[in-house]
Chains A and B, each alone.
Chain A
């Protein structure tokens, strides 16, 4: 049975893996003003939790992940991981970019090895681990290919292997499967869920696809449109493994979508307005 409830603050606040504390991020906008991408985000993520964030485009989802990854600094507020303040990127939390960011001058294997090399892992071990993770995403045949020789879905999987190979405590995923066909995405959902259960990683997964969020997440957060605020938190207590076509997933998605629809409308209106009068 799908249980819809406004999630309570976790009681064991001390044991949080990630704590986002009153975080805002403003960007300078064109005319000397400020654009608030995120406004007063408070969020606690438990160790091993799979948290999904949905929101309309322009709600600051990616910005939040960049902040947690340490690639960007909040304008106000703080982010804590394992009780340590995030000041810079770290190998304990790896972001899987929406644009992937695979290095075109390296082969698939070398891309996966890149982070291990920065960690100082020796050549032999690097090779083994890269081989293992490429095998995990079913790309062992394509180890020596360069990114441009791979299809969109394959590139996505290389990027996933590159992130997983770092064995991060926290995996941050920014719409990683948005560009994939439905079959490949289904497959990768299963793979990701399996890896997650095996490793006990904490995952924050950003998507605009509500079905995907409900299929994967322990919790689903809805962000509002500009400035991005947390609008609603849903706990998803459906039994795993789930499938995206499960009727329970569908009915839960409908509820989440109800909350999201209003924000999407706002974002579409804003874009329309922008086109008309900009």
Chain B
């Protein structure tokens, strides 16, 4: 019942956004090559999907995402473990990591191009650099913020070393880890699209730039819609579900 009402509210909201958009179009404030109509964007979406360019773009971008994100999770996780383990590293390398993370990931692009040329590797490099540090910061925070009582209870009940880590510290820091992974995904996604704009990369980022080159505002907006939908889907189908289960299990909040 409650869910139905929620869905109805969402549908109503997007209908309102579309109506607002259409009425702005009807006011003819801007020429159509600056401000596309909903119909022309839908048409661009239809063409994009029917001639497979959007499917290819999505496929290429998601493949890069998976590779880059997997690398980030592995490397960032390892770095986070190191930082959580050693106070010395935390005070030295840890400080540096936080400062470097504050830099927008697009700033890695010139370096990546000089190192790897206009290549797949350059894009992956930007993706990894964009998300790795945020993952490691969250992994470290998660492990360091495990309440002392859990570690003590674990040791008291006979867990130590790797078992203590696996059965107590890791599950205890899970809420932090999940939000770290989510943040890492968002950073990786942003970095990827920025990186893809630099050359003929076949990804969604390049489709955006192609729309600009062709002066085709409808395609630009259509690709933006696709990018937003993918972000929405990953957040809604993966991270939200994981977080909800976690919250319910831990009793972190009564929210459904």
A97: which of B153, B174, B250, B251 is its contact (CB, 8 Å)? B153
Q: How far is B157's CA from A97's CA once the two chains are assembled, in angstroms? A: 12
Q: How far is B237's CA from A195's CA once the two chains are assembled, in angstroms? A: 50
Q: Could you tell me the distance in whole angstroms from the C-beta of B153 to the nearest C-beta in chain A?
A: 3
Q: How far is B156's CA from A103's CA once the two chains are assembled, in angstroms? A: 13
Please, which residue of chain A has its CB at the minimum distance from the CB of B152? A71
Please, which residue of chain B has its CB at the minimum distance from the CB of A102? B153
B156: which of A95, A104, A117, A147 is its contact (CB, 8 Å)? A95
Q: Is the CB of B149 within 8 A of A99?
A: yes
Q: Is the CB of B171 within 8 A of A119?
A: no
Q: Could you tell me the distance in whole angstroms from the C-beta of A242 to the nearest C-beta in chain B?
A: 29
* Residues in B neighbouring A277, C-beta threshold 8 A: none
Q: How far is B158's CA from A94's CA once the two chains are assembled, in angstroms? A: 9
B172: which of A103, A147, A162 is its contact (CB, 8 Å)? A103
One digit per residue, 1 when the CB lies within 8 angstroms of any chain B CB and 0 when it does not, for chain A 70-87 equals 010000000000000000
Q: Is the CB of B157 within 8 A of A71?
A: no
* Residues in A neighbouring B154, C-beta threshold 8 A: 114
Number of residues of chain B lying within 8 A (CB) of chain A? 20
Q: How far is B152's CA from A115's CA once the two chains are assembled, in angstroms? A: 13
Q: Is the CB of A146 within 8 A of B158?
A: no
One digit per residue, 1 when the CB lies within 8 angstroms of any chain A CB and 0 when it does not, for chain B 90-117 equals 0000000000000000000000000000
Q: Could you tell me the distance in whole angstroms from the C-beta of B143 to the nearest C-beta in chain A?
A: 15
Please, which residue of chain A has its CB at the minimum distance from the CB of B170? A105
Please, which residue of chain B has its CB at the minimum distance from the CB of A94? B156
Q: How far is B149's CA from A149's CA once the two chains are assembled, in angstroms? A: 20
Q: Does A8 contact B (CB under 8 A)?
A: no
Q: Does B249 contact A (CB under 8 A)?
A: yes
Q: How far is B163's CA from A166's CA once the two chains are assembled, in angstroms? A: 17
Q: Is the CB of B155 within 8 A of A71?
A: yes
Q: How far is B156's CA from A147's CA once the two chains are assembled, in angstroms? A: 19
Q: Could you tell me the distance in whole angstroms from the C-beta of B6 to the nearest C-beta in chain A?
A: 25
Interface residues of B in 209-256 (CB under 8 A from A): 249-251
Q: Could you tell me the distance in whole angstroms from the C-beta of A51 to the nearest C-beta in chain B?
A: 19
Number of residues of chain A lying within 8 A (CB) of chain B? 28
Q: Is the CB of B249 within 8 A of A146?
A: yes
Q: Is the CB of B158 within 8 A of A119?
A: yes
Q: Does B126 contact A (CB under 8 A)?
A: no
Q: Does A69 contact B (CB under 8 A)?
A: yes
Q: Is the CB of B251 within 8 A of A148?
A: yes
* Residues in B neighbouring A114, C-beta threshold 8 A: 154, 157, 159, 167
One digit per residue, 1 when the CB lies within 8 angstroms of any chain A CB and 0 when it does not, for chain B 138-178 equals 00000000000110111111111001000110011010000
Q: Is the CB of A148 within 8 A of B157?
A: no
Q: Is the CB of A105 within 8 A of B156?
A: no
Known: A99-B149, A103-B153, A149-B251. A115 touches B168 (CB 8 A): no
One digit per residue, 1 when the CB lies within 8 angstroms of any chain B CB and 0 when it does not, for chain A 96-127 equals 01011111110000000011011100000000
Q: Does A22 contact B (CB under 8 A)?
A: no
Please, which residue of chain B has its CB at the minimum distance from the CB of A147? B251
* Residues in A neighbouring B157, C-beta threshold 8 A: 91, 94, 114-115, 118, 162, 166
Please, which residue of chain A has its CB at the minimum distance from the CB of B168? A103
Q: How far is B172's CA from A105's CA once the two chains are assembled, in angstroms? A: 7
Q: Could you tell me the distance in whole angstroms from the C-beta of A101 to the nearest C-beta in chain B?
A: 3
* Residues in A neighbouring B172, C-beta threshold 8 A: 103, 105
* Residues in A neighbouring B251, C-beta threshold 8 A: 104, 146-149
A-B contact pairs, 29 of them (CB 8 A): A69-B156, A71-B155, A71-B156, A89-B155, A89-B156, A89-B158, A89-B160, A91-B157, A94-B156, A94-B157, A97-B149, A97-B153, A97-B156, A100-B149, A101-B150, A103-B153, A103-B168, A104-B250, A105-B171, A105-B172, A105-B250, A114-B157, A114-B159, A115-B158, A118-B157, A119-B158, A146-B251, A147-B251, A166-B158
- Could you tell me which B residues sit within 8 Å of A by CB distance? 149-150, 152-160, 163, 167-168, 171-172, 174, 249-251
- Could you tell me which A residues sit within 8 Å of B by CB distance? 66, 69, 71, 88-91, 94-95, 97, 99-105, 114-115, 117-119, 146-149, 162, 166
